[in-house]
Structure 1
Amino acid sequence: DAAFEAIMAGRIQKGDVLVIRFEGPKGSPGMPEMLSPGAALVGSGLGKDVALVTDGRFSGASHGIMVGHVTPEAAAGGPIGLLVEGDMVTVRPATRELSVALSDEELAKRRAEWRPPAARPGTFGVLAKYAAQVRSAHVGATTS
């Protein structure tokens, strides 16, 4: 929601990399599609100039510079969960590279300070069990 609002408010500019975290199978059971923010980028004329990076998923309807299913996901302690606003993220689609301009020391510091997020509102019962047991998106987001 915050990413969509930022796009619509004009706070996202050409050359930005928009990172949406905690949308993977653990962080957002069901792993929602990121169609709205992607469509908002295209609709605002930024589809070719702004990369969208997420641990959520995309469908075949998405257009632009989209990097989805990032694993390990933020809710599992993946590096995407260590990013903060202003970090210099680089996306190189031709070589399938995603990187951040942070030292190993800074990443280690952030990892030491990282804490798992609280469960999303509405994540209880079967969804809570799923979130606790689900495997990474790169192996199918299935339970064992």
Structure 2
Amino acid sequence: MSHRMKVWGLLPEFGRAQLKLTTAAKKGLGDPVLVELVVLRASQVNRCAFCIDMHVRNLREAGVSPRRIDLLPAWEEAGDLYSERERAALALTEAVTVLTDGHVPDAVYDRAAAHFTESELAHLIAVIVAINNWNRVNVTVRQPPGEEL
């Protein structure tokens, strides 16, 4: 597949706004590994090669074990490899990303709310929304992995 357009270069204000949105969303979570797991999982669901490549590299640089990175697509079956807090965040990530039923199920939301303060939960939702926006743009224009935005 070939790169369709350099949307981020064509719309620099949009790119700066997206970066500010992402930065603001991440500020209230405090756990950079949790954030990277969430954004990697959303990127996997959305099949965004550019973002998958970037967030796998970020997790490796943060010292996350290859096993935790490799098994992320099967996090529900991975036992104690992910904490309850991480699993709650990943379940919410998938529910917000897919929205196949047109809503986020109460059980998924309540599970996340049990592990995050209200402010943290708001930031988590914002991170999920922000990465989905990055994914949708990058998938649409076929942003190549490893290339500058």
Into which bin does the TM-score normalised by the smaller protein fall?
under 0.3
More strand per residue: 1
More helix per residue: 2
Query: What TM-score does the superposition give when structure 1 sets the normalisation length?
Result: 0.27
Q: Which has the higher contact order (CA 8 A, sep 6+)?
A: 2
